[in-house]
Amino acid sequence: MDGKIEQGKPRRKPRILPPFPRRLKWLHVQSPAMTQDPSVPVLTLDGPSGSGKGTICRLVALRLGWHYLDSGALYRAVGLAAAWADIDLSDAPALVRCTFDTDIDFRDRTDESSGGGEPRIIVNGVDATDELRTETAGAAASAIAAIPEVRAALKDRQRAYRRPPGLVADGRDMGTVIFPDAAHKVFLTASAEERAERRYKQLSEKGVSVTLPGLLREILARDARDANRAVAPLRPAEDAVRIDTTGLSIDEVVERVLALVPAR
Ligand code: C5P
């Protein structure tokens, strides 16, 4: 070899990557897919408000020994942080900044003794668990969830929950947008009346004062907004198994969902 480049071989320009720490960030920003490991199994459970997803997902995650993503809590937490910061719900750029800046920490209680009890949710250092469960927080979440930039800002954050040995993901677009390659997809429904009753019971037990007709109205309004928004509307993935939970006990639903995950 005389140092000349052989004929026929393409002369490549060396690729210049940023130094190591910046490179990691660069890869993260350039390729959201890299924030998740596609070999980790995912079970998605989507459905309208009050369909029992939260309870079912927690119990299923506990039985499988998998991680649990409550994506609705992320939207609720951002909605709450925005309210704390007096951000107008029509100010999309400020909401996106708020989405990136909000620190959300789930203090897990998914040990057997808690029976899959709800984790505490710490938003910017404050335990906001009870405040996040109110219909006011649900409505704020639903309003910001209709903003495409906010949804985009939460994408990687949700995908980062995909860690071994597996993930149970609860939301509206888990099977359609966030984890379209999930091996197991479920769409849970229940009549609006039964969902309102369940929510009523849940909130009354927590000492939150609500009325059943008021809750039914709010649930129907939230369903309509979630199903009719332009981006990631609430709808079953084509390959999702639909389970109508009306009249079923929690245990019955859990068993039906678990039956979809083979060879555990
Ligand atoms: O599930 P949860 O009732 O906590 O969700 C609150 C609101 O957040 C929903 O009404 C919906 O508008 C929004 N959301 C969403 N996509 C998700 C989860 C929740 O748009 N994956």
Hey, which of 46, 71, 234 would you mutate to test ligand 1's pocket, going by the most ligand atoms within 8 Å of its Cβ?
Answer: 71
Find out whether the beta carbon of 172 lies less than 6 Å from any atom of ligand 1.
Answer: yes
Token code pair at residue 92? 């999309």
- Domain 40-258 indexed as CATH 3.40.50.800: no
Question: What distance separates the 2 farthest-apart alpha carbons in the chain?
Answer: 87
Could you tell me which residues come within 8 angstroms of residue 216 by beta carbon, excluding any fewer than 6 positions away?
Answer: 192, 193, 196
Query: Using 50, 70 and 90 to split pLDDT, how confident is the model at 150?
Result: very high
Give the pLDDT score at 5.
36
In this prediction, residues 80-95 reach a mean pLDDT of: 94
Q: Measure CA of the first residue to CA of the last residue in the chain; give whole Å.
A: 59
- β-bridge pairing 120-123 and 126-127: antiparallel
Find out whether the beta carbon of 141 lies less than 6 Å from any atom of ligand 1.
Answer: yes
Could you tell me which residues come within 8 angstroms of residue 120 by beta carbon, excluding any fewer than 6 positions away?
Answer: 106, 107, 109, 127, 129
Hey, which of 75, 131, 235 would you mutate to test ligand 1's pocket, going by the most ligand atoms within 8 Å of its Cβ?
Answer: 75
Find out whether the beta carbon of 44 lies less than 6 Å from any atom of ligand 1.
Answer: no
Task: Kindly report, residue by residue over 200-251, the tens digit of the pLDDT.
Answer: 988 888 888 889 999 999 999 988 988 898 888 989 999 999 999 999 999 9
Find out whether the beta carbon of 176 lies less than 6 Å from any atom of ligand 1.
Answer: no
CA gap 116, 14 in Å, rounded: 53
Find out whether the beta carbon of 72 lies less than 6 Å from any atom of ligand 1.
Answer: yes
Residue with the nearest Cα to atom 4 of ligand 1? 72
Cα–chain-centroid distance for residue 138? 14
User: Within 13 Å, how many C-alpha atoms sit on residue 39's CB side?
Assistant: 1
Contact 229, 141 (CB under 8 A): no
* Residue-range domain boundaries for the chain: 40-258
Single pTM value for the model: 0.81
Find out whether the beta carbon of 133 lies less than 6 Å from any atom of ligand 1.
Answer: no
Ligand 1 centroid–CA 146 distance in Å is 10
Q: In the sheet that 104-107 helps form, which strands lie side by side, from edge to edge?
A: 104-107, 120-123, 126-127
Rounded percentage of the chain residues whose pLDDT exceeds 90: 61
Query: Using 50, 70 and 90 to split pLDDT, how confident is the model at 69?
Result: very high
Q: Which amino acid is at 213?
A: P
Find out whether the beta carbon of 171 lies less than 6 Å from any atom of ligand 1.
Answer: yes
Find out whether the beta carbon of 79 lies less than 6 Å from any atom of ligand 1.
Answer: no
Could you tell me which residues come within 8 angstroms of residue 157 by beta carbon, excluding any fewer than 6 positions away?
Answer: 74
SS percent in the chain: helix, strand, coil, step 5: 45, 15, 40
